[in-house]
């Protein structure tokens, strides 16, 4: 997609306006709600300055690949738990899930419940053994018992693909948010966020991303609590009155209190849930969090903390989503006659913050959401950069890299991924970010999770089985996702979808496990490939 020259010039003018402390105003047709106000500008400037200061501080310490990619494994369990929770308090969760609840009611909450339910799987199946065996990425776990070169090539390819899909969701949320924040177009907003995230991720590394995650996780919980409390206050702190008003305002009535499935199809809903449930364990930027702590116990404790915080956050999203229905629907300031929110339904929590707390609360929440996007996107880019340096380059070249080369490749890869995120973000304007996240988790569930599970718990997995099965999972999940309704019909506009379901995980996850098993037992590999030189992986989980 070609980026118009006028968009770039407009971006530069907008940045100059920020530096002067001015406010941008727009005559866009949606509503006066799209006007940028002084409080929004101030909160944004404060948060942007804070994140850049953290970036400079962390950048001075990022002199090695270990420090840049995993913060030297010096993050405490409590800090890492907050950072992991921060990864899930992303634009996709905060904006996308709230918007999904606003549109579909309890169907949107089904997505949140699926994300929350995925964490016990991470806690009990992969967190501790992964930390014991890994160094930089999940590829290290596979390479621990399998031939390194083909495994690293596969792991690098799957990580880049998953990071790219996940990055799109964050960029779409960022574009809509910044467009609303400063009353500028979606294109210039995407470019602005992209440039900031490139600077942040290439200079600061994992330590900067971790500390921004910690700060914004605390602020996001506090901000969500304020919105929830103020929304409930409108109804005398009666949850039942809020829900009754939401039912009365929504065209589906009491149907918003039932799970019907987004497409009224049980298979589609189940497949979406399977992708989210198992995909979390295969997300590269989540897996990298286990390497920032010093041992396996800290990894386990950090996941426990994260699960508790995420549960609290998703509970508040329930009230934010239904509060948006009760308060915003029918209000011409925030929604049109059909109930669609100005700026997109993804902005439900931002509009609700303005409705119950005024422009100051809306500006605060918007700035926190921006910090959320910046931190999550940086973690994604660093995960992709790690895989490019430690997996793809090592696998393709057949040699290990020295520290300086590894660090240089990581930063170049971070730059390339940032540019890719800008291009994809421009292409996917208007898509629900929660759905885009679900597509990324479906690919992670199909390509990464089966290999992780078998590598940790089954000594019969062979290199051939892992490569063939992982390649099948990656290609099949990407292909089915592309020809599914979201990409084929909504993004590409090519007519009715060839594959009827958004998420292919219900089909691709068991098939990937089956292919890995069949290929592994079909022809055993010689022991000299790994069994005589590497200890059994199973001993680490007994």
pTM comes to: 0.71
Angle, in degrees to the nearest 10, between helices 505-522 and 433-447: 10
Helices of type H across 252-347: 266-279, 284-287, 296-328
Q: Please tell me what DSSP assigns to residue 526.
A: P
User: What distance in Å separates the CA atoms of residue 310 and residue 306, rounded to the nearest whole number?
Assistant: 6
User: What distance in Å separates the CA atoms of residue 492 and residue 451, rounded to the nearest whole number?
Assistant: 31
The dihedral region occupied by 493, where left means phi > 0, alpha psi between -120 and 50, and beta the remainder, is left
Q: Which residues are CB-contacts of 229 (< 8 A; sequence separation ≥ 6)?
A: none
What confidence score (pLDDT) does residue 92 get? 64
For residue 498, give Cα distances in angstroms to 167, 178, 274, 375: 25, 34, 21, 36
Query: Residue-wise over 409-419: b if at least 16 C-beta within 10 A, else e?
Result: bbbebbbbbbe
Rounded to 5°, the CA angle 464-467-473 comes to 135
Read out DSSP for 161-223?
Answer: HHHHHHHHHHHHHHHHHHHHHHT--HHHHHHHHHHHHHHHHHHHHHHHHHHHHHHHHHHHHHH
Query: Domains in the chain and their CATH numbers?
Result: 5-26+33-59+89-442 (1.20.1730.10)
CB 171 within 8 A of CB 421: yes
Query: Mean pLDDT for each 10-residue chunk of the chain (542 residues)?
Result: 33 30 35 55 78 74 62 72 78 77 80 75 71 62 79 84 81 76 80 79 71 83 93 92 90 71 67 85 75 72 83 90 90 84 83 89 82 74 73 68 72 81 80 71 90 86 92 93 84 84 91 94 61 38 40
The dihedral region occupied by 184, where left means phi > 0, alpha psi between -120 and 50, and beta the remainder, is beta
User: What distance in Å separates the CA atoms of residue 540 and residue 542, rounded to the nearest whole number?
Assistant: 6
Rounded to 5°, the CA angle 143-145-146 comes to 60
Residue 142, CB-side half-sphere exposure with 13 Å CA sphere: 32
What confidence score (pLDDT) does residue 530 get? 41
Coil/strand/helix, residue 330 = coil
User: What distance in Å separates the CA atoms of residue 375 and residue 51, rounded to the nearest whole number?
Assistant: 9
The radius of gyration computed from the CA coordinates of the chain, to the nearest angstrom, equals 23
User: What distance in Å separates the CA atoms of residue 342 and residue 399, rounded to the nearest whole number?
Assistant: 53
Coil/strand/helix, residue 452 = helix
Paired with 335 in beta bridges are: 341
What confidence score (pLDDT) does residue 535 get? 40
Q: Please tell me what DSSP assigns to residue 297.
A: H
């Amino acid at each position: 997609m070609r980026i118009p020259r006028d968009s770039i010039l407009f971006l530069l003018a907008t940045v100059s306006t920020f530096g002067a402390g001015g406010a941008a105003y727009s005559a866009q047709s949606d509503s006066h709600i799209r006007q940028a106000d002084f409080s929004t500008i101030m909160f944004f400037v404060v948060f942007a300055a804070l994140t850049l200061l953290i970036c400079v501080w962390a950048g001075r310490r990022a002199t090695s690949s270990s420090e840049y990619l995993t913060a030297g494994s010096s993050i405490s369990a409590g800090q890492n738990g907050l950072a992991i929770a921060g990864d899930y308090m992303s634009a996709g969760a905060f904006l996308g899930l709230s918007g999904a609840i606003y549109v579909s009611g309890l169907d949107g909450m089904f997505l949140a419940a699926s994300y929350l339910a995925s964490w016990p799987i991470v806690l009990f199946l992969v967190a501790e053994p992964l930390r014991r065996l890994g160094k930089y990425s999940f590829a290290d776990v596979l390479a621990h018992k399998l031939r390194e070169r083909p495994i690293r090539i596969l792991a690098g390819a799957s990580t880049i693909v998953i990071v790219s899909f996940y990055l799109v969701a964050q960029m779409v949320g960022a574009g809509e948010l910044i467009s609303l924040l400063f009353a500028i177009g979606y294109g210039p907003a995407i470019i602005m966020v992209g440039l900031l995230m490139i600077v942040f991720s290439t200079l600061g590394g994992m330590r900067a991303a971790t500390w921004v995650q910690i700060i914004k996780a605390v602020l996001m919980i506090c901000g969500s609590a304020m919105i929830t409390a103020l929304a409930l206050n409108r109804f005398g702190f009666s949850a039942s009155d809020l829900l009754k008003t939401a039912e009365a305002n929504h065209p589906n009535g009491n149907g918003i209190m039932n799970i019907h499935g987004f497409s009224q199809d049980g298979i589609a809903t189940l497949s979406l849930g399977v992708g989210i449930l198992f995909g979390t364990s295969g997300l590269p930027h989540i897996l990298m969090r286990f390497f920032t702590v010093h041992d396996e116990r800290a990894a386990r404790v950090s996941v426990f903390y994260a699960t508790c915080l995420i549960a609290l956050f998703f509970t508040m999203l329930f009230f934010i989503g239904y509060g948006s229905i009760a308060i915003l629907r029918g209000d011409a300031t925030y929604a049109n006659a059909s109930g669609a929110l100005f700026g997109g339904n993804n902005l439900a929590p931002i509009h609700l913050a303005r409705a119950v707390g005024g422009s100051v609360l809306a500006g605060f929440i918007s700035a926190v959401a921006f910090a959320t996007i910046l931190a999550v996107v940086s973690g994604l880019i660093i995960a992709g950069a790690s895989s490019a340096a430690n997996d793809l380059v090592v696998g393709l070249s057949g040699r290990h890299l020295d520290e300086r080369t590894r660090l240089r490749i990581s930063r170049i890869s971070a730059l390339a991924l940032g540019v890719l995120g800008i291009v994809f973000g421009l292409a996917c304007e208007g898509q629900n970010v929660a759905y885009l996240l679900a597509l990324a988790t479906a690919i992670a569930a199909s390509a990464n999770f089966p290999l992780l599970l078998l590598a940790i718990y089954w000594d019969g997995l062979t290199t051939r089985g892992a490569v063939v099965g992982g390649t099948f999972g990656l290609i099949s999940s990407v292909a089915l996702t592309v020809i599914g309704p979201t990409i084929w019909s909504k993004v590409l506009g090519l007519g009715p979808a060839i594959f009827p379901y958004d998420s292919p995980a219900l089909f691709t996850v068991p098939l990937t496990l089956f292919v890995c098993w069949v290929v592994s037992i079909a022809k055993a590999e010689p022991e000299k490939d790994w069994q005589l030189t590497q200890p059994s992986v199973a001993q680490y989980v007994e």
